Amino acid sequence: GQNIDQPTEMTATEGAIVQINCTYQTSGFNGLFWYQQHAGEAPTFLSYNVLDGLEEKGRFSSFLSRSKGYSYLLLKELQMKDSASYLCAVRDGRDDKIIFGKGTRLHILP
């Protein structure tokens, strides 16, 4: 079967660091995406991992371990504008379809 798990909600403080985890079980694996979605807006692409390790892009980093079926998104120096939902999406290696998790709603406190 295909399953992607993320925490439903998280809360963090402005200026801090937060890690959003994603675990997945798919028939195959051919890449993992992270998207950001502000309330009432469209999802926007953040990062992509296909090999094990860390991809850094400014304040955001994404990590992948294929053997563990695990990824995380790390947000540093949190800003109020980072309050959003973060969607993990996996490309199934069997048919290349992209499957989205339900998303993690991140609340930033001042």
From 78, 40, 41, 45, select the one nearest 59 (Cα to Cα).
Answer: 78
Question: Applying CB under 8 A, which of residues 48, 61, 66, 76 lies at the interface with another protein?
Answer: 48
Question: Applying CB under 8 A, which of residues 45, 54, 56, 94 lies at the interface with another protein?
Answer: 45
Question: Applying CB under 8 A, which of residues 12, 20, 33, 72 lies at the interface with another protein?
Answer: 33
Smallest gap from residue 4 Cβ to another protein (A): 9
Position 103 contacts another protein (CB under 8 A): yes
How many residues form the binding site for another protein (CB under 8 A)? 18
Residue 55 in contact with residue 48, Cβ under 8 Å? Answer: yes
Question: Applying CB under 8 A, which of residues 20, 43, 64, 106 lies at the interface with another protein?
Answer: 43
CB-based contacts of 97, cutoff 8 Å, min separation 6 = 91
From 61, 69, 51, select the one nearest 5 (Cα to Cα).
Answer: 69
